[in-house]
Structure 1
């Protein structure tokens, strides 16, 4: 059974919901803190004096989020790693080399799981610091701008507050920027990080099991709508060892002749073109978050290269259009949650429905696309 990032997709989705719920809770706390006593002439002074209360509320959310997420990630990584190992068992179970594996009672690889959990914690640690700072910075900014707008005779305080909340909700709670300069919503960044690390756990469980059985080569599937990062590796054979770069190796056939004569024959070998190492391919982008490719054992003389799957009428650009539509749906749902009046909520709801209609139309126009409602949510708490 091939292993792919999709094997751990359900585990990542469950954890991403924790962040989406936290994002919604933070947005609602910010809205409620700003709207309390908004008609008071001393509103600005009261808001700036009570910033400590908001800080405490935000920190309570982030501490609970970090504890829940770290525990859930640890469990998800162990499960994903185990699924990867079981995929190897299913893949090789029909052969002699898989029978020993089936009889083993192997605990989820603690070293691999611990290493990946530590990597996830390191990647997301800055996120929790940014959450509190971002919410408080926006709070101060809204109080200042709303007061200025009122003094200058422009927008009412309510209007100015709502406009500022709309801008904040549009881009998400944190506006987190990664090392490549890309801006992320809180839930979207967390989902990317979780999907990446759980997918890696499944792949590592698989290749660790293969390595234990002496399988040193794997092959990448051909997936529809591949991205430019993955295209060079489709249908290619990769090594699990450290050697990089394309080369041709001569290896023994996976299945050798049996019987009395086999004991006196030289093992049969075949020439295999190896495009590079798995580590090299992953470093170049293979198995990125949302990757559709899978990995399976390459058995010389047995495994054949997969045929190329064309996707007429649909391109990778169309899949990215779907992702953009999902981001807009989430943005307008956040604005709906941040609305301070029924009129603002109704307006946001109209735009949610418009973008949902675009999502349906895009999927209808491209049969190879699938709509994923979970990616259009900002949380389950209401």
Structure 2
């Protein structure tokens, strides 16, 4: 069977929930910290003096999150790598090389899994370092703004606190900037990182298994609603070797005639480039819909093109935007300081859920994924 990033989606989803639960806990901690003693005339002084308590609570959440997530990722990587190997054995099962691969009992490749786990830990380490600072800076700013607002007679302290909490919950726990300069919220970055590394583990398990039986070519599927990064590689043959760029090779036919004097059959195969090159250009990015299969000269045929009339890649991105909006309003529900604000946020959740239903109904190629509209333990 082909291997694809989707093969490890369930593993990534379970780990992403850890981050979303942590984000909800942080929002609720901040809400309780701001709400406590809000009617006291000394509220601002009390809040600023108690910032150390909030910092300690957030540090505990961040440390527990880091420990739980790193352990869960290590287990998920081993599972994803094993699935990739199993996929290679399954797709070649009818051939002698497939039976040879199935007969092997190979444990997940420790160096590959350890390397990916270390890569994930390095990529997410700045996230934990920034969580506490982002939260305490936001909290201090909220207290300062709220303390000055009511003095001017413009708004009540509770209303000002709620407004600031709403802004915080709307964008999520943010403050982390990646190498490209993009600013990320906690859960969104974690989801991207986890999906990316588990997908890589599944693909590496697959190509390592193929390399063991000297299968050096793979072919990319034709996926519906492909993104511009993946489109150039659809249906193309790639080498697992180092030679990049388009080139033509002479390869042995995968099924050779039997007999002592039977001639070896070869044929010309056009190769679009290397797998390393394609991945560097964006193939198999997080949420990529493409899959990878072994290419057996003379046996494997190019995949048919999947037409999606009436639906575009941009429509899929609009669906992701709607899902993010639903999650943002659910965070605001968690940040609500009274029933009125909670009901208001709930009304917006329902409004955007209706938008999601209408958008999916208008595009036959789209499917609604309720799990992507959930946050934390609610998923």
TM-score normalized by structure 2? 0.99
> Does the residue aligned with 1:337 lie in a helix, a strand or coil?
helix
For each residue in 1:213-249, what CA deviation from the matched residue of structure 2 results, as whole angstroms up to 9, or x when unmatched? 0000000000000000000000000000011000010
> Does the residue aligned with 1:30 lie in a helix, a strand or coil?
helix
Please point out which of 311, 322, 328 is paired with 2:308: 311
- Output the CA distance in 2 between the equivalents of 1:100 and 1:233: 30
Cα offset, 1:102, TM superposition: 1.2
- Output the CA distance in 1 between the equivalents of 2:93 and 2:304: 24
Aligned twin of 2:15: 15
Aligned twin of 1:105: 105
Q: Is the 8 A contact 1:28 1:338 kept in 2?
A: yes
1:371-382 residue pairs with structure 2 within 5 A? 371-380=368-377
Q: Is the 8 A contact 1:187 1:378 kept in 2?
A: no
Cα offset, 1:154, TM superposition: 1.3
1:71-220 residue pairs with structure 2 within 5 A? 71-220=71-220
Q: Is the 8 A contact 2:257 2:263 kept in 1?
A: no
Aligned twin of 1:231: 231
Aligned twin of 2:260: 263
Aligned twin of 1:47: 47
Aligned twin of 2:334: 337
- Output the CA distance in 1 between the equivalents of 2:42 and 2:205: 60
- Output the CA distance in 2 between the equivalents of 1:64 and 1:252: 54
Aligned twin of 1:3: 3
For each residue in 1:1-33, what CA deviation from the matched residue of structure 2 results, as whole angstroms up to 9, or x when unmatched? 100000000000000011011100000001101
For each residue in 1:57-90, what CA deviation from the matched residue of structure 2 results, as whole angstroms up to 9, or x when unmatched? 0011111101110000000000000000000000
- Output the CA distance in 2 between the equivalents of 1:180 and 1:362: 31
Q: Is the 8 A contact 2:26 2:58 kept in 1?
A: yes
Aligned twin of 2:274: 277
Cα offset, 1:266, TM superposition: 2.7
- Tell me the C-alpha RMSD between the 2 structures: 1.0
For each residue in 1:184-210, what CA deviation from the matched residue of structure 2 results, as whole angstroms up to 9, or x when unmatched? 221111111000000000000000000
Cα offset, 1:180, TM superposition: 2.1
Q: Is the 8 A contact 2:126 2:176 kept in 1?
A: no
Aligned twin of 1:251: 251
Cα offset, 1:381, TM superposition: 5.9
Please point out which of 301, 322, 326 is paired with 2:319: 322
Aligned twin of 2:289: 292
> Does the residue aligned with 1:53 lie in a helix, a strand or coil?
helix
> Does the residue aligned with 2:238 lie in a helix, a strand or coil?
strand
- Output the CA distance in 1 between the equivalents of 2:285 and 2:298: 30
> Does the residue aligned with 1:107 lie in a helix, a strand or coil?
coil
- Output the CA distance in 1 between the equivalents of 2:177 and 2:158: 30
Unaligned segments of structure 2, at least 5 residues: none
Cα offset, 1:99, TM superposition: 1.5
For these two proteins, the number of residue pairs brought into alignment is 379
> Does the residue aligned with 1:380 lie in a helix, a strand or coil?
helix
Aligned twin of 1:38: 38
- Output the CA distance in 1 between the equivalents of 2:170 and 2:143: 19
- Output the CA distance in 2 between the equivalents of 1:176 and 1:158: 29
Q: Is the 8 A contact 1:4 1:199 kept in 2?
A: yes
Cα offset, 1:267, TM superposition: 0.7
- Output the CA distance in 2 between the equivalents of 1:274 and 1:362: 39
Cα offset, 1:175, TM superposition: 4.2
Unaligned segments of structure 1, at least 5 residues: none
Please point out which of 367, 370, 373 is paired with 2:367: 370
- Output the CA distance in 2 between the equivalents of 1:359 and 1:249: 48
Q: Is the 8 A contact 1:24 1:381 kept in 2?
A: no
- Output the CA distance in 2 between the equivalents of 1:164 and 1:336: 14
- Output the CA distance in 2 between the equivalents of 1:316 and 1:360: 18
Q: Is the 8 A contact 2:19 2:187 kept in 1?
A: yes
> Does the residue aligned with 1:263 lie in a helix, a strand or coil?
coil
Q: Is the 8 A contact 1:328 1:355 kept in 2?
A: yes
Q: Is the 8 A contact 1:247 1:275 kept in 2?
A: yes
